[in-house]
Amino acid sequence: MSDVIPLCLGNLSGSLSMLGLRNNKFHGTIPKTFAKGNKLRSLNLNGNQLEGILLRSLENCRHLEVLDLGNKINDTFPHWLGTLPNLRVLVLRANSFHGTIGYSMTKFSFTNLRIIDLSHNKFRGFLPTKYFDYLKAMMNSSVEKGKLMYIGDSYYHDSMMVVMKGLSMELVKIQNLFTTIDFSNNGFTREIPKSIGKLKSLKGLIISHNKLTGNSSLSLEKLSNLEWLDLSSNKHTGEIPGQLVDLTSLEVLNLSGNCLVGPIPRGN
């Protein structure tokens, strides 16, 4: 389908819970008309040709759990999305978001977020240290003991594209235990902050193709549930952190394209 998205879809959101228009050829801007009190739980516009900025009417979607907006949106990081109390999946992949992410404008932002994908944009500056302090849903190291469920409702389960263990694949259902961060292909600089070590339930971390420097061992040694780690194509120096051998769940590790020297760690 190729057209602008009808503005009336925003008006219908008083009863609409899921709007999925991905992989079409919609152009123009995202509708401005998401009214207060709407029941929208999932919004997936990925794979279209939508432009402009991200309109703050989405802030009215207080029930929103999944937001997937891979298009051509040109804007700065939408801090205000952090106030959505139920947001669990945020995908801004492959847009033209730019500038620094900086600090949260409000305390306890994105506390329920489990999946965040900011890859293939134009972000720069430091990694968002303060946000890592608020990602409570990624901090529970005993999350594996939780009941296996899927994000969705009784008749519809959300799906999304994700890079996992070096492969791009579609999750036809998103497990509630699945946690991943993808900040690849941006312009982030400096070191990986220590605060990322608090995210003990994290399954995947991808920060490849940036301008990160320094040694990451102190930041990553506590991520005991990590299964894939991609820090390739940065400016890391020194030896490969020996603490990585303690990540006994790690299956895929990519450190290529850096300035690392010395032996490959062994053990465990």
Cβ pair 81, 61 in contact under 8 A: no
Residue 2 lies in a domain: no
Half-sphere exposure of 24 (CA within 13 A, CB side): 15
Q: What is the pLDDT of residue 88?
A: 95
Separation of alpha carbons 109 and 84, rounded Å: 8
pTM of the model: 0.93
Residue 136 lies in a domain: yes
Token pair, residue 170, equals: 């579609």
Residue 70 lies in a domain: no
Counting every residue written for the chain, the total comes to 268
Per-residue confidence band for 244, with pLDDT thresholds at 50, 70 and 90: confident
End-to-end CA distance of the chain: 52
What secondary structure letter does DSSP report for 76?
B
Total domain count for the chain? 1
The winner for highest mean pLDDT among 153-167, 174-188, 213-227 is: 174-188
Residue 174 lies in a domain: yes
Q: How much is the average pLDDT of 165-172?
A: 90
- In Å, how far are 76, 103, 139, 228, 252 from 198, measured between CA atoms? 26, 17, 6, 17, 21
Least confident of 33-37, 97-101, 102-106: 102-106
CATH number for the domain spanning 233: value is: 3.80.10.10
Q: What is the pLDDT of residue 145?
A: 57
Domain that holds residue 139: 76-261
Mean pLDDT of the chain: 88
Residue 255 lies in a domain: yes
23-45 pLDDT, tens digit per residue, is: 999 999 888 878 888 899 999 99
Q: What is the pLDDT of residue 177?
A: 87
